[in-house]
Amino acid sequence: IEREGFFYGRGTTDMKNNDAALVANLIRLREEHFVPNRDIIVALTDGEEGGDTNGVQWLLANRRDLIDAEYCINTDTGGGAIKDGKDAVMSMQTSEKIYLDYSLEVRNRGGHSSLPTKNNAIYRLAEALVRLSAFDFPVNLNETTRTFFERAAARETGQTRADMLAAARVPHDPEAVNQLAKVSPYYNSLMRTTCVATMLSAGHASNALPQTARANVNCRMLPDESPDKLLATLKTVVADDQVAITCTEAATVSPRSVIRQDVLDILDRLTASMWPGVVVTPEMSTGASDGRILRAAGVPVYGVSGMFGDADDVRAHGKDERMGVKEFHKGVEFLYRFMKALTSGS
């Protein structure tokens, strides 16, 4: 539905907008008799967050010949952010954090609630979670996140600007890192692996001592780190051998893509011409996309999109998901110019 300057509907931002833009621009290039200097392969896949029946995993396993490429442009990531009503940032995703879920479980013989003991499964688990809540994983910036802070500093002022530049230095400034972590959960997540309790379950009756207490801890691991080291760190932080820690779900571990200067140069040039004053930054996504699957298979992936959306009004997956009409058509035009620049040698 188009209403009051927006397209409303599931997928308007995630990501039928760019699916439509890719196909429309292939038609446009064909009608113009444009001859690229390399193949342009478009793959529209599903199953990113819940299966691989017809997704990129299936293509890699069964028809890799169809998508074998030097690199991939993933329009499901990257893109523009609007802040306070103004176009502010254009990002290019080069890496993403790795999703892992852990179960922390305490078992106990239980008993009647009128005869409590100090060894209570709920209390024991709660104490472990409190220790985890107080722990910060070490800072570990990579090429993408350092460049992000260097470039993002251009749109900041005062202490935040100074802290971004100080955090991007090698070695980083610990005080600057601490200040950025307080300014924004996003900045904090860019700088370190994070683990947080997301679900709890315990006990079986209101008049019985709990025999089990369980928590789900969701971790988003930096792409340069290892699940084995993460598990060892969790055990050290929990510091209780009666709390069993088990990995219950782990996404594909994939490396970050080294920044391609030719792709970044084109993005810089087009952004400057279409959105003057907008800062272009590399990005490490704190969420997940199909890019991780391709990167693990040896295909570098760069998330690029010309679609701009309000950074403080993210509605993806919601029933009221929406895309600005003006922003959509400008995003289609950007993708046309971007595809043509990548494949014309100019």
Q: Which of 51-65, 84-98, 142-156, 177-191 has the lowest mean pLDDT?
A: 51-65
User: What integer pLDDT is reported at residue 134 of this predicted model?
Assistant: 97
Contact, 172 vs 139, CB < 8 A? yes
Q: Which of 23-27, 53-57, 145-149 has the lowest mean pLDDT?
A: 53-57
On the question of a cis peptide bond just before residue 15, with omega within 30 degrees of 0, the verdict is: yes
Separation of alpha carbons 345 and 203, rounded Å: 65
Contact, 303 vs 76, CB < 8 A? yes
Burial of 230 (0-12, 13-18, 19+ CB in 10 A): buried
Mean of pLDDT over the chain: 94
Q: What is the pLDDT of residues 49-71, one digit of tens each?
A: 655 566 898 899 999 999 999 99
155 secondary structure, DSSP code: G
User: What integer pLDDT is reported at residue 36 of this predicted model?
Assistant: 96
Quickly state the pLDDT bin for 251 (edges 50, 70, 90): confident
Contact, 117 vs 255, CB < 8 A? no
| Residue 278 pLDDT exceeds 80 | yes
Find residue 282's DSSP bridge partners: 92
User: What integer pLDDT is reported at residue 49 of this predicted model?
Assistant: 60
> Which structure tokens are listed for 285?
């996504």
Residue 244: CB atoms within 10 A of its CB come to 13
Separation of alpha carbons 53 and 64, rounded Å: 15
Q: Containing H/E element for 17?
A: helix 16-31
Of all residues in the chain, what percent carry a pLDDT higher than 70? 97
Q: What is the pLDDT of residues 217-245, one digit of tens each?
A: 999 999 989 999 999 999 999 999 999 99
User: What integer pLDDT is reported at residue 53 of this predicted model?
Assistant: 63
Whole-Å CA distances, 273 to 89, 225, 266, 276: 14, 38, 11, 6
Contact, 337 vs 109, CB < 8 A? no
Provide mean pLDDT across the span 13-33.
96
| Residue 268 pLDDT exceeds 70 | yes
Cα angle: 307, vertex 312, 318; to 5 degrees: 75
Quickly state the pLDDT bin for 317 (edges 50, 70, 90): confident
Cα angle: 100, vertex 286, 78; to 5 degrees: 140
User: What integer pLDDT is reported at residue 8 of this predicted model?
Assistant: 97
User: What integer pLDDT is reported at residue 289 of this predicted model?
Assistant: 86
222 secondary structure, DSSP code: -
Give φ, ψ of 260 to 5 degrees.
Answer: -90, 120
Separation of alpha carbons 260 and 71, rounded Å: 10
Give φ, ψ of 34 to 5 degrees.
Answer: -70, 135
Cα angle: 222, vertex 219, 308; to 5 degrees: 65
Contact, 153 vs 164, CB < 8 A? yes
- Across the chain, the runs of DSSP E, i.e. the strands, are 2-3, 6-8, 72-74, 79-83, 86-96, 98-107, 111-112, 194-202, 208-209, 212-221, 243-250, 279-285, 301-303, 308-310, 322-324
Residues in the chain: 346
User: What integer pLDDT is reported at residue 316 of this predicted model?
Assistant: 84
User: What integer pLDDT is reported at residue 45 of this predicted model?
Assistant: 87
